[in-house]
Structure 1
């Protein structure tokens, strides 16, 4: 029967020369991984914030353009202003407004095409297009 003596147990749990310093290396690797995950989550949150803000600006611009005293040009101006005040003017470069007849009214559509932020708030990632619609009754 094998007996584990106190001396054998101590020798078993003692780190050998090939394992010296491994705790520091493990700490660096785990910390690096956690930092990469944290930065990725922050950037994903920023991308979703930009997307939601652009959707809201497009919808608000369409509603503004659908008011009785305003034109489709006012919708584009309102959308650009909201985007520039909320995010950055670079996201408001390509704002298009179109109108079409629907029932007894007119549909005002605002389309914002931009690039998703890949690093920080700079519009340098992949393409994103959002729409906002409102009906104008004359």
Structure 2
């Protein structure tokens, strides 16, 4: 019995198709890990900035500066463009809220993807 068609070279074509699919999946996983890293770093910077601003001898400007420094040194300066600090009175104490609005990295570490909003809070006890 003779084969129906010539399958010569089909292994090369299959290898190229499978390799392309595997590379695409691997790059997607790397990019997802990078997005999660950026998100977690921004959350940590906002929380750290809020705690720094809640110290007795610090102000809202200090919280913003600390958050900006942490983001710039950890990631890219483009992620530190949308930092806002607010304080709210809670009885005798104050709540320091640091929020960061930026864009998630779509390709690489450039802030060029979709919007991301993270916040960090701390209480200043008087």
TM-score bracket, shorter-length normalisation: over 0.9
Give per-residue Cα distances to partners, 1:8-45, cap 9 Å, x unaligned: 4xx45xx832x221111100000000000000000000
Matched, 1:30 2:30: no
Higher Rg: 1
Matched, 1:92 2:103: no
Counterparts of 1:1-138 in structure 2 under 5 Å? Answer: 8=1, 11=2, 16-17=5-6, 19-138=7-126
5+ residue gaps in structure 2? none
Q: What is the count of residue pairs matched by the alignment?
A: 126
C-alpha distance in 2 between matches for 1:103 and 1:28: 66
How far off is 1:59 after superposition? 0.1
C-alpha distance in 1 between matches for 2:70 and 2:8: 58
**Aligned residue in 2 for 1:5:** none
SS of equivalent to 1:69? coil
5+ residue gaps in structure 1? 1-7
C-alpha distance in 1 between matches for 2:96 and 2:106: 31
Q: Which aligned segments of 4 or more residues in structure 1 are displaced greater than 3 angstroms?
A: none
C-alpha distance in 2 between matches for 1:42 and 1:104: 47
RCO higher in structure (CA 8 A, sep ≥6): 2
Q: Give TM-score scaled by structure 1 length.
A: 0.88
Q: Give TM-score scaled by structure 2 length.
A: 0.96
SS of equivalent to 1:108? strand
C-alpha distance in 2 between matches for 1:26 and 1:105: 66
Give per-residue Cα distances to partners, 1:35-84, cap 9 Å, x unaligned: 00000000000000000000000000000000000001100000000000
